[in-house]
């Protein structure tokens, strides 16, 4: 049996008349890691909810500062500058994500390859620009996940190709989301 319309309106009025202590949806969106990051959560206490959102956003910024290929001061950028010249020690966090990426590269037979950045860095997708064919042909041999050597004992990485560069892209974003979930789960 269907409830009469007036019952539905009465329930709606009752729910909207609940005191503020019952909670509310809170959200924030920021441009981080080349995309829009949004956090939305239900909080019974507005101050605690805002604090949780701020902690998640701070963590997103921290991961971006560590792993952005576009920030000159990021650990990933330092690795890209130095790893073709010598072994480079990096944080355990970055090392583990590169290990994960290499696992996917092996699993996919190289279809997934973080060294795509060797040429990918030359594209400006928003402006619709691509490198010329000569530059692309010269750098294409640098795209090879097998040219990324890893030393787990020292958390160090070395590139065996001079122009090789890496970008963790979606793996870094996924890691940032996982970290945000961990913070919210407490």
The rounded Cα 83 to chain-centroid distance in angstroms is 22
| CA distance to 31, 37, 165, 172, per residue, from 56 (Å) | 13, 10, 29, 15
List the chain residues with pLDDT less than 70: 1-21
148-151 vs 35-43, strand pairing mode: unpaired
> What pLDDT, on a 0 to 100 scale, did the predictor assign at position 121?
85
> What pLDDT, on a 0 to 100 scale, did the predictor assign at position 176?
95
> What pLDDT, on a 0 to 100 scale, did the predictor assign at position 6?
33
pLDDT (tens digit per residue) in 155-186: 999 999 999 999 999 899 999 999 999 999 98
Provide the residue count of the chain.
186
DSSP 114: G
- The mean pLDDT value of the chain amounts to 88
> What pLDDT, on a 0 to 100 scale, did the predictor assign at position 122?
86
> What pLDDT, on a 0 to 100 scale, did the predictor assign at position 120?
87
> What pLDDT, on a 0 to 100 scale, did the predictor assign at position 19?
52
> What pLDDT, on a 0 to 100 scale, did the predictor assign at position 21?
58
24-32 vs 35-43, strand pairing mode: antiparallel
Q: 60, 37 in Cβ contact below 8 A?
A: yes
């Amino acid at each position: 049996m269907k409830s009469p319309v007036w019952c539905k309106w009465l329930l709606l009025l009752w729910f909207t008349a609940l005191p503020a202590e019952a909670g509310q949806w809170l959200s924030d969106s920021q441009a981080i890691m080349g995309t829009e990051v949004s956090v939305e959560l239900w909080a019974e206490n507005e101050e605690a909810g805002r604090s949780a959102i701020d902690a998640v956003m701070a963590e997103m910024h921290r991961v971006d500062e560590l792993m952005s290929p576009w920030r000159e001061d990021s650990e990933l950028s330092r690795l890209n500058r130095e790893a073709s010249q010598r072994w480079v020690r990096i944080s355990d966090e970055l090392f583990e994500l590169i290990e994960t990426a290499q696992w996917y590269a092996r699993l996919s037979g190289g279809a997934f390859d973080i060294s795509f950045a060797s040429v990918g860095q030359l594209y400006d997708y928003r402006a619709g620009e691509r490198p010329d064919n000569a530059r692309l042909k010269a750098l294409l041999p640098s795209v090879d996940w097998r040219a990324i050597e890893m030393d787990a004992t020292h958390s160090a990485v070395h590139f065996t190709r001079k122009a090789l560069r890496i970008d963790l892209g979606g793996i870094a974003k996924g890691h940032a989301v996982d970290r945000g979930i961990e913070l919210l789960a407490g």
